[in-house]
Amino acid sequence: MQIEIEKLVYGGKGLGRHRGRTFFVPFTAPGDIVEIRETARKSGYSEGEVLKILKRSKNRTAPKCPYFGRCGGCDWQHIDYKAQVEFKKNILEENLQKIGRIKKPNIDEVIPSPSPWHYRNRAQLKVKNGKVGFYAKGTHEIVDIDTCYILKEDLAGAIPGIKELIKKLATEPAEVHLYSSSKGEVILKLVYQGKFKKVTLNLEEIRDILKINVIGFGIYKTGESGYPERIKFFGKDFTYEHVDKFKFRVSADSFFQVNRYQVGNLIRKVSSGAMEYQYLLAGDLYCGVGTLTIPVGRYVHRAFGIEASFPAVSDALFNKDINGLRNISFYCRETEEGIEIVKESNPDLIVIDPPRSGLSQRIVREIASIPRLKRIIYVSCNPSTLARDIALFYQHGVHMEKSKLIDMFPQTFHIETIAFLRKVR
């Protein structure tokens, strides 16, 4: 059948209609006229795949990566980057309208990535039978790759070396994780499932094989929680990130923002919300290594952060000291437990940067009920759950004033938003 693609939706697919039925089709762009076949029929809509492009969208461009379309890492390499950012703004606006119930959402700023390529400082490569790469979309089949155009150059260039490294190991790992700091210091993790034999290679040998500045590597095993658990580590298990005037220690088991070009913009925009009023106390939920807590702490009387990961909290405590801030506290708690600390502390500013699943109804209700609360700065990587939570906050007298789209994930459908909410008295 033949359809015209009207728009893109969150998830990366193009939407078109045929005889009143809605079709979602990957690797299309608004303005495409395509011949498709139906691949799945669901209640109220169908999935399709492109057989032939009959008319090309003006926003189409040639994908840079030879694995695009097979590898599940990217969704939109076939779309010009300037258009990608515009489509993300449209998707965010539609989610805020339909799910968030805001008639005219104020998206007052859109910040493209200074580079849409080689921006990721972190990779989790899948390994099986000598293949190294990422899963094909919707499957557990590994697409074998030799480079990746969204990974930082040293990581992208190390992939052939990783294949050589795997040949020299007594047991093949299930995954290889890499993190490269802004100064090119790389931390490597070999993640095993089930039984494995001892790794006999030393740090120097691994550095020579990969031809990148590996400062430390760890042996990990996938635990019952599904997360890698450390068995042993060799060399340094931390590195440092410098962002504007701030310095952050990031350990092997902590997390730092993946877009090396945008983390400074994220910090500046969140901090600007803390500067507009003389806040007495700021609380930061899901604070990680203090990436936002510490900059916000510069502009408020006192601040605290709550984070479930013990390694991240250890880094956060170290980071407050190396940045010379004595007015910040950190607590290692799950959010559902940490909300009690928030209620007792009674902050007037709250920063939230939750996972894609967003907030629970209880967390929304508890935050909204804080007596002294004036403002919430909500950082989100999922416009659907952000909009849902904004609608919930509205029911409790907290309204969104404005939002900013900051593109942390070029070539993919993922959307990072900073939403500024205010409690209405």
User: Tokens at residue 280, please?
Assistant: 């007495």
Q: Is the separation of the CB atoms in 393 and 380 below 8 Å?
A: no
Three-state secondary structure call for residue 187: strand
Max CA distance (Å), the chain: 65
- The three-point CA angle 121-123-128 to 5° equals 165
CA atoms within 13 A of residue 368's CA, in its CB half-sphere: 22
Angle between helices 203-210 and 159-168 (to 10 degrees): 140
Q: In 131-199, where does DSSP find H-type helix?
A: 153-157, 159-168
Question: How far does Cα 315 stand from its chain's mean position?
Answer: 19
Among positive and negative, which fits the CA dihedral 174, 180, 181, 185? positive
Residue 223: what pLDDT?
79
List domains and CATH numbers for the chain: 2-60 (2.40.50.140), 90-114+259-423 (3.40.50.150), 122-241 (2.40.50.1070)
DSSP string spanning 38-68? Answer: EEEEETTEEEEEEEEEEE--TTB---S-TTB
Angle between helices 361-368 and 335-345 (to 10 degrees): 10
Residue indicated by tokens 């499932």: 193
Q: Is the separation of the CB atoms in 298 and 326 below 8 Å?
A: no
- Helix (H) or strand (E) run with residue 221 in it: strand 214-222
List the one residue out of 169, 171, 174 whose CA is nearest residue 132.
174
Residue indicated by tokens 């701030």: 246
The tens-digit pLDDT sequence of the chain (425 residues) is 999 999 999 999 999 999 999 999 999 999 999 999 999 999 999 999 999 999 999 999 999 999 999 999 999 999 999 999 999 999 999 999 999 999 999 999 999 999 999 999 999 999 999 999 999 988 999 999 999 999 999 999 999 999 999 999 999 999 999 999 999 999 999 999 989 999 999 999 999 999 999 999 999 999 777 789 999 999 999 999 999 999 999 999 999 999 999 999 999 999 999 999 999 999 999 999 999 999 999 999 999 999 999 999 999 999 999 999 999 999 999 988 999 999 999 999 999 999 999 999 999 999 999 999 999 999 999 999 999 999 999 999 999 999 999 999 999 999 999 999 999 97
Strand 398-406 and strand 328-332: the pairing is unpaired
Residue 321: what pLDDT?
97
Q: 65, 71, 148, 381: which is the annotated catalytic residue?
A: 381
Residue 260: what pLDDT?
97
Enumerate residues 6+ apart whose C-beta is below 8 A from 122. Answer: 177, 178, 179, 180, 256, 258
Residue 224: what pLDDT?
77
List the one residue out of 420, 118, 56 whose CA is nearest residue 260.
118
Q: Is the separation of the CB atoms in 32 and 53 below 8 Å?
A: yes
Backbone angles phi, psi at 134, to 5 degrees: -120, 160
Active site residue 381: yes
Enumerate residues 6+ apart whose C-beta is below 8 A from 247. Answer: 240, 241, 319, 322, 323
Residue 226: what pLDDT?
78
Three-state secondary structure call for residue 271: helix
Q: Around Cβ 244, how many Cβ atoms within 10 Å? A: 11
